[in-house]
Amino acid sequence: MRLRWLAALALTWVWGPAGAADLPFKVLSTGKVQGRVEAGLSQARDRKALAQMWSRMGLTGAVPKVNFKQRMVVAWVGGGSACDKYVLAHVRDNTGDVVLEIERVQPPPGHMCIMMFVPSRIVASIPITSKAIRFNVPDGSGAGAESR
């Protein structure tokens, strides 16, 4: 009995909570935010909205091509220190929502850094969904915000 419980716990740890599935995603842009951009999530469901998002974030270069019949674009702005890097690790399709799992990568101990607030950005394409979209940054620097 105990062995079955441990096996179930291990499978839950490996594959995540019941009902959750990883969705494929493609990161279109990452880095620090240029100018003033509101923190949180935003999304684009057509080329015009993506072009506006691209411009609002101060991104240079051509707007990426996305097949909006199958995919949508989500953008997360958050974080803090100029030294931290944020990485989109997983996109999970849960029963009631889609969650962007964002990992904070801190500089190694002893690394000198100017501690000023500089938000980060992640722009990615994901399969189209009508579910609410949230983000989770496990270190507690920002979780929850919802986008529809």
End-to-end C-alpha distance for the chain, whole angstroms = 43
Tell me the C-alpha distance between 37 and 121, whole Å: 10
Give the whole-angstrom CA distance, residue 140 versus residue 63: 32
Distance of CA 135 to the CA centre of its chain: 6
What is the DSSP code (8-state) at residue 20? -
Size of the chain in residues: 148
pTM of the entire predicted model:
0.79
pLDDT of residue 139: 67
Write the Ramachandran bin of 63: left for phi over 0, alpha for psi from -120 to 50, otherwise beta.
beta
Average pLDDT of each block of 10 consecutive residues along the chain (148 residues)? 45 52 96 83 97 91 96 92 87 95 86 77 96 86 49
Domain boundaries, the chain: 19-147
pLDDT of res. 7: 46
